[in-house]
Structure 1
């Protein structure tokens, strides 16, 4: 009996998607689940005539294109920057100092966690490192001060997840790469043969205001709790020794991450460097800051020594002055050359000191190992997701998804709500990168063809993925904190502490939905007219033949 090959292919594509979700929930390795099941279903599709075996020959070239993609080169560099800051003790110094600044007021420690979480997110872009660092350093201090465990754990988890969307975010880098291909395909299918690009810089700029809104919401919630329930976040008493020289310590702790953030994001905004090149600026800057930190610890005394604080204070003020003069006289290229010069000088100073040399290169070695581990994990998932996208698309999965979204009541609005709901629910069970590599490539082209702005879509998905990091029972930020929290804090307390911040995330998503200009305004100001969304959707969307030709 004859059967419809295209229908069988679509059913197999749906089966592939469901099988992957089911196997992932058992805890099996993500990369092998995606790639292995895709290949097995591909062979099954070859047997029934729903998949062309010659398409497997395209996989090696596709893999090579991913590995050599200049945009994705920024990922290991940004990861390295964050790991160096965490291992060198710069993040610890910032967190301790800010806790002393705000700790004297009710809710002050929680406010310092929000502020430091935003700074570390912008300086590292690594959620796990931020949550673990703040959990190890801030959570014991908050418990000793008498904080409500739910407020303390919720604040740490929420502040740590800002690394999902606050630039430079590795999630936004991968999102930009996926949306660039999806936007080009959608606009070409709709007759626009000169499609606008969606760059990493566009998403970095688009995510800036939403991430600041979220940070403000977190701080506002802490202040609200300090007013209505002051017993949940009492002030912290400080000794005379801790008060002495606090202003100098604040300057010394704040300037290093702020300089790094300005170097990375400023080089993009000023047009001096591409996002990939700015990642190398951040990596070199982190090496310089780590060298200065170790030199100060070795030659200027232990942390808290008044002479050390005074010397560091004048060093960083002088460094800012030199940066300002260099920027005024020589512009952005002069600043980059200056940074390279001070990096070389600091490295020479480190090499000249025997014990310090060993400590520095031990920090560097451990940072490289962590970077290699994190980067390998992400990229091997991406390779598996590439095999999945090939098999799913070519067996008719794109047509099935497009038909499903077009059938949603409400048109574009209904389709967006359905995709966002799927991402949110999957966030209960799957990691961010798993959702990013599985869901976004198969839904973004259809949404963009329906007239959705690609930058707005990318930032909205980024905030949703950030929400998934907070969502019980499998929010990964909750797991990170559970791993370092004392046993006196129960898992249900961590879950309940995250719920108010999930509500704030939903309010922020509502603001971005109602006023999309909060996302699109800054990219237009910095980079000029952005993509501005896909062209007006035609009466009938193109057939699946266009997507088949992509491979």
Structure 2
């Protein structure tokens, strides 16, 4: 059933005040995103430092909105502690599993199985992405990242696949795990804010187009790898030249000058006689 449009008297007036309210709601979030991702991508901070800057920025925004209360800070700290504890225990468990699996030569069996697939690199990538996609229905993305990917990366490297590109590909695939049951976190978040009249099945069906678009992105990354490797494959200026180039720690470059030329060597031999 199509709902009628709002009458004109019920619509909010489009003016500068509305525009300022929209900006006030968007700009703080953009600043927070820049503090975390922007500083990392620009090389200004490590991931740990970027996370710390994001935490400080979130506290500042909470103070500006007059929501910086003791209960809120305590809730954020306990939630962070639980997530970190979960990740650490998953990391410990995946390490024990990896050592045991390699102890019984399971990694060699996986390598032999995947390298013998028909189609070479393309066959390996299609099989791995189908496997990871369906595995995300039953495992959380943390478990897949810590347990499954360490088994797949050596095989990809042996097949001559760029590991950076391979990581981006699997990351795009794992994003679908947020949008399908039973571990679809985005579905649970939407269920928490949606009205009670909205059925969970409606949310699941509504997420299908987004899962489809994500799978199209995975296919584009596979068949058009330049979407990821375009900037990685760019040569550094000054390296691809006819003369050898030396780059010192402070960034200066120039033609390489040998420490001992042939004339100097002959002179040294004569003096030694």
Q: What are structure 1's unaligned runs of at least 5 residues?
A: 1-147, 149-230, 298-358, 530-551
Instruction: Determine the structure 1 residue equivalent to 2:26.
Output: 254
| 1:349-400 C-alpha deviation (Å, 9 max, x unpaired) | xxxxxxxxxx533321211111111121122111111111110111111100
Instruction: Determine the structure 1 residue equivalent to 2:270.
Output: none
**Which of residues 197, 203, 206 in structure 2 aligns to 1:488?**
197
Which residues of 2 match residues 245-324 of structure 1 at below 5 A?
Answer: 245-294=17-66
Which residues of 2 match residues 43-442 of structure 1 at below 5 A?
Answer: 231=2, 238-240=10-12, 245-294=17-66, 359-442=68-151
Cα distance, 1:451 vs. partner?
0.9
* Aligned mates of 1:398, 1:258 — CA distance in 2: 43
SS state of the match for residue 65, structure 2? helix
Q: TM-score scaled to structure 2, two decimals? A: 0.76
- The 1:477/1:252 distance shift into structure 2, 3 A limit, reads closer
Q: What are structure 2's unaligned runs of at least 5 residues?
A: 238-273
- The 1:495/1:277 distance shift into structure 2, 3 A limit, reads same
* Aligned mates of 2:20, 2:29 — CA distance in 1: 16
* Aligned mates of 2:229, 2:7 — CA distance in 1: 41
Conserved in 2, the CA contact under 8 Å of 1:473 and 1:495?
no
Instruction: Give the structure with higher Rg (CA).
Output: 2
Instruction: Determine the structure 2 residue equivalent to 1:317.
Output: none
* Aligned mates of 2:232, 2:5 — CA distance in 1: 41
Where relative contact order (Cα < 8 A, 6+ residues apart) is larger, the structure is 1
Conserved in 2, the CA contact under 8 Å of 1:431 and 1:476?
no
Question: Over the residues paired in the alignment, what is the CA RMSD in angstroms?
Answer: 2.8
Conserved in 2, the CA contact under 8 Å of 1:428 and 1:474?
yes
SS state of the match for residue 44, structure 2? coil
* Aligned mates of 1:402, 1:470 — CA distance in 2: 30
Cα distance, 1:241 vs. partner?
7.1
For the pair 1:453 / 2:162, whether they are aligned, the reply is yes
| 1:95-148 C-alpha deviation (Å, 9 max, x unpaired) | xxxxxxxxxxxxxxxxxxxxxxxxxxxxxxxxxxxxxxxxxxxxxxxxxxxxx8
Cα distance, 1:276 vs. partner?
2.2
Q: TM-score scaled to structure 1, two decimals? A: 0.39
| 1:479-520 C-alpha deviation (Å, 9 max, x unpaired) | 443355433222221221111111111111111112112122
Cα distance, 1:401 vs. partner?
0.2
For the pair 1:520 / 2:247, whether they are aligned, the reply is no
SS state of the match for residue 245, structure 1? helix
* Aligned mates of 2:148, 2:190 — CA distance in 1: 27
Instruction: Determine the structure 2 residue equivalent to 1:195.
Output: none
Instruction: Determine the structure 1 residue equivalent to 2:254.
Output: none
Conserved in 2, the CA contact under 8 Å of 1:472 and 1:495?
yes
Conserved in 2, the CA contact under 8 Å of 1:428 and 1:468?
yes
| 1:226-245 C-alpha deviation (Å, 9 max, x unpaired) | xxxxx489679754578671
